[in-house]
Amino acid sequence: MVSGTSLMTGDTNLRILIVDDMPAMRGILSQMARDAGFSRIVEAEDGESAWMQVKCCACEPADAFGLVVSDWNMPGMNGIELLRTVRAYTPTRDLPFFMVTGEGDHAHLSDAVEAGVTDYIVKPFTGTQLRDKIAKALP
């Protein structure tokens, strides 16, 4: 965890959607985002519910998400399917999207890059690594 630090660049007021089927991992990712200075964090337990939230909020600037952080391996709609769906929908095609994965092999990661992932995070990772990737990805 990163404690006592805040994100120096980017908009810490943006909404972040954390998607993971494991409640403990959602909690860890949410806490890491809070430790990085973000307070508008929403959680989803799977790709389907995440997509419904993204699509529903995409046309309302005040409610739209500024970043999605999604696990790759989830039942139903997995992270790569969610990413492809987000990229295929015009209002969300440029939405920053991070993939969290335990798979670090080149072929696996190249699938994410081909699908349009903004960045990926290979488990295990630290709050500092997450914060730095967010800072790099945001304008």
What tens-digit pLDDT sequence spans the chain (139 residues)?
233 333 434 456 889 999 999 999 999 999 999 988 899 999 999 999 999 999 998 888 888 999 999 999 999 999 999 999 999 999 999 999 999 988 766 777 888 999 999 998 888 888 899 889 888 887 6
Residue at 113 is within a domain: yes
pLDDT given for residue 63 in this prediction:
85
pTM score: 0.88
Q: Does 40 map to a domain?
A: yes
Residue 2 lies in a domain: no
Residue 3 resides in a domain = no
CATH number of residue 46's parent domain: 3.40.50.2300
Q: Is residue 86 part of a domain?
A: yes
What 3-state class would DSSP assign to 101?
strand
Q: Could you tell me the residue range of the domain that residue 20 belongs to?
A: 15-137
Residue 8 lies in a domain: no
Is 83 inside a domain boundary? yes
Q: How many domains does the chain have?
A: 1
